[in-house]
């Protein structure tokens, strides 16, 4: 099976497993796991921030990012398709009593004109707007990279408006590879940033929240309350350190493999490849013509032919390239999808969705 469901399906290679086996460990809650300490130092340095906090998941990293900037009754502004709003169960409301104002945007980047009227707090009837959240790369808009100049302008405005800035940088590493920019350049516009290690970098577990020392100290406290205090997790941190050294430089290859798939199916009947006017990365999105059938039917046909993907809407399919897929497998996947698009549809069936 060529597994294109997500870059989260990557698995540790033998060298990464060896690094994990050799890791020096301690009790991280007591702050004496040397491998975790080294990882947090390294990630903070990469992103140009004071400190970093190792957490089990990107969702926890994002929620901590919201929590350290918002009190109960506050609200944050975000794109209506972003991961924090769309895929994290409104945990900010469940756990912290924080509200949100989601905004319909063009490829994940709101404008100042859209945001300015949404900032509230002077009137006692309103929630206080305290935070702006962005996502880069943006998952549901096809893995696009947000325009750097626009992000800079937007964050400068937000700072002037008294808003903190948090970046969901789960795939920030892909944005860096696509734009040939350092992580610190992209992170520098934000107060806090979450980054993920278990997607394109191929580590088995983990994310990090980076930011000022005072915010990371608060996040560490909240992490404990959420059950995220891990003990001898240097074994996991060692995998991340290996990934930063050896897998981070490979991300551009994943982008090229994604383009192989796009080009293979560009001319296929009954499917339309999404090519937003932004830099694309390792994700391939396409629409299935309703005359052919549903996205779910297309995905079922692909799985039968040895290619696994997700239907993320009635007609929309996502495929994600990663280090576990070779260039030859990317071409094979493209050929399989082209063949399916040219073939007969399955019978009508009610779609079911995956995220």
The per-residue pLDDT for 176 is 97
Q: What is the pLDDT along the chain (355 residues), one digit of tens a residue?
A: 999 999 999 999 999 999 999 999 999 999 999 999 999 999 999 999 999 999 999 999 999 999 999 999 999 999 999 999 999 999 999 999 999 999 999 899 999 999 999 999 989 999 999 999 999 999 999 999 999 999 999 999 999 999 999 999 999 999 999 999 999 999 999 999 999 999 999 999 999 999 999 999 999 999 999 999 999 999 999 999 999 999 999 999 999 999 999 999 998 999 999 998 768 999 999 999 999 999 999 999 999 999 999 999 999 999 999 999 999 999 999 999 999 999 887 654 544 544 4
Query: DSSP letter string over 218-255?
Result: HHHHHHHHTT---SSTHHHHHHHHHHHHHTGGGHHHHH
Residue 122 in contact with residue 258, Cβ under 8 Å?
A: no
pLDDT at residue number 347: 55
Instruction: Express as a percent the part of the chain with pLDDT over 70.
Output: 97
Query: Which residues of 147-288 form beta strands (DSSP E)?
Result: 164-169, 192-196, 207-211, 271-273, 283-288
- CA–CA separation, 301 vs 299, rounded Å? 5
- Count the neighbouring beta carbons within 10 Å of the beta carbon of residue 202: 26
Q: Distance between CA 45 and CA 51 in Å, rounded?
A: 8
Order of strands, sheet of 164-169, starting from the edge strand that comes earlier in the sequence: 51-55, 207-211, 192-196, 164-169, 128-135, 74-79, 99-103
Q: What is the pLDDT of residue 346?
A: 65
Domains observed in the chain: 10-246 (3.40.640.10), 250-342 (3.90.1150.10)
This prediction has a pTM of: 0.94
Distance CA(341)–CA(335), nearest Å, equals 10
Residue 322 contacts residue 202 (beta carbons within 8 Å): yes
Which pLDDT tens digit goes with each residue over 323-332? 999 999 999 9
């Amino acid at each position: 099976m060529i597994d294109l469901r997500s870059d989260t399906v990557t698995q540790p290679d033998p060298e990464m497993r060896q690094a994990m086996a050799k890791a020096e460990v301690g009790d991280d809650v007591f702050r004496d796991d040397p491998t975790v300490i080294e990882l947090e130092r390294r990630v903070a340095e990469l992103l140009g921030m004071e400190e970093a906090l190792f957490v089990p998941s990107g969702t926890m990293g994002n929620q901590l990012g919201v929590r350290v900037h918002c009190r109960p009754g506050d609200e944050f502004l975000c794109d209506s398709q972003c991961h924090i709003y769309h895929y994290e169960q409104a945990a900010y409301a469940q756990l912290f009593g924080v509200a949100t104002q989601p905004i319909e945007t063009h490829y994940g980047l709101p404008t100042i004109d859209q945001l300015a009227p949404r900032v509230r707090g002077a009137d006692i009837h309103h929630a206080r707007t305290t935070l702006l959240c962005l996502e880069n790369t943006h998952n549901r808009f096809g893995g696009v990279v947000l325009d750097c100049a626009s992000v800079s302008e937007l964050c400068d405005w937000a700072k002037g408006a008294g808003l903190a800035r948090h970046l969901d940088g789960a795939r920030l590493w892909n944005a860096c590879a696509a734009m040939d920019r350092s992580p610190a350049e992209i992170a520098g516009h934000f107060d806090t940033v979450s980054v993920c290690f278990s997607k394109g970098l191929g580590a088995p577990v983990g994310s990090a929240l980076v930011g000022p020392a005072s915010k990371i100290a608060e996040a560490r406290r909240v992490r404990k309350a959420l059950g995220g205090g891990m003990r001898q997790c240097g074994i996991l941190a060692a995998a991340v350190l290996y990934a930063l050294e050896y897998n981070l430089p490979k991300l551009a290859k994943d982008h090229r493999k994604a383009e192989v798939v796009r080009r293979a199916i560009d001319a296929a009947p009954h499917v339309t490849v999404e090519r937003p006017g932004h830099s694309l990365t390792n994700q391939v999105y396409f629409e299935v013509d309703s005359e052919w059938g549903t996205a779910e039917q297309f995905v079922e046909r692909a799985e039968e032919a040895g290619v696994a993907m997700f239907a993320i809407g009635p007609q929309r399919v996502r495929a994600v390239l990663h280090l576990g897929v070779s260039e030859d497998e990317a071409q094979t996947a493209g050929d399989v999808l082209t063949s399916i698009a040219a073939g007969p549809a399955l019978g009508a069936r009610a779609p079911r969705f995956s995220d």
